[in-house]
Amino acid sequence: MLRRILITTSILTVAASFSFAQGCSSSSGGGTSSGSGSSSGGENDATGSSSGSASSSSGSVGDDATGSSSGGSGSSSGGVGDASGDGPDLCTSPLSTVPAGMITGYMTVMQTIGACTGTDISGFITACNSSTASDTACNTWFNGAPQNCANCLIGPVTGGDPGNPTGQGGIWFWNMENIGVNFPGCMDKEGQTACATAYANLAECIYAAGCLQCADQTSFDSCQTTVAAGACKSYVAPYQSACPQSDFGDGGVAGPTGPCGTDPGVLSVICGNGSGDGG
């Protein structure tokens, strides 16, 4: 579980909003789900059993990312390094190169219109993805959540029960870690597929290089500046080309009032009424 922090930075020329884990060690709850909800917009139905949990999180920033999830949806791989003091501090000294295997790329989101109500979405965000979120609150929310909504938030999984989320639900999973709401998936559903792909590649590279370890805004911005000029430089130009400034400004799809501009909006597009109004 994490609390999403939106940032704008001049290093990428256009505004960029990335998120990093700054929350609790895991978010879980709920039972096994079918993952077979009908998808809209021409997408295939989600297949495979969903764990019914919010999966393993990257852990509290500064903790060892190898801890297993309490919800049983697969332990975190800890691919961004150990921030517990037993390994290098990758936030202040990020990797100079990122293995290609760490960049999984954008996975087409499985949109399920009507799976969650506005109340479901706001309840999930409060319990699992806000400044007041906690493991206990998130577990409780998932244990009582409508199954269709939990299925959509988690998305398809692989590897059996409980399995590992593929990152195609309302929650964006990377490297078996919950890194926030599925912003790229929202952009894709709003007709910005090229931006969704470029954004996911750049964000995943930034996280893989070590910035996922950063515990505050200042250190995250510094880390991002370093890797954008180093390990992740090859992903910057494609992002700048595919995600114009207008997408993130007033009236843009990811602007303050756009459908993908807020966490409720993103989840509304993917699992709610499809409008991006939080419902």
Take residue 173 and report the two structure tokens written for it.
Answer: 């999973």
Sole residue written with tokens 């019914």: 52
Does the pLDDT of residue 111 top 90, yes or no? yes
Angstrom CA distances, 181 to 18, 62, 89, 150, stand at 11, 22, 26, 13
Look at residue 36 in the predicted model and tell me its pLDDT: 33
CB 123 within 8 A of CB 137: no
- H or E element in which residue 171 lies: strand 171-174
Q: For the chain, what is the mean pLDDT?
A: 74
CB 91 within 8 A of CB 215: yes
CB 148 within 8 A of CB 141: no
CA separation for the pair 105, 99 (Å, rounded):
13
Per-residue pLDDT of 208-220, as tens digits, reads 999 888 888 788 8
The amino acid that residue 76 corresponds to is S
Per-residue pLDDT of 32-55, as tens digits, reads 333 333 333 333 333 333 333 343
Quick count: other Cβ atoms within 10 Å of Cβ 114? 15
Higher confidence at residue 90 or residue 16? 90
Per-residue pLDDT of 120-177, as tens digits, reads 999 999 998 888 888 899 889 999 999 999 999 999 988 866 678 899 999 998 877 7
CB 52 within 8 A of CB 237: no
Phi-psi map region of 2: left, alpha, beta (phi>0 left; psi -120 to 50 alpha): beta
Take residue 64 and report the two structure tokens written for it.
Answer: 């060892």
Higher confidence at residue 131 or residue 253? 253
**Residue 67 C-alpha from the chain's centroid:** 18
DSSP 8-state secondary structure symbol assigned to residue 14: S
Higher confidence at residue 163 or residue 118? 118
pLDDT exceeding 70 applies to what percent of the chain? 67
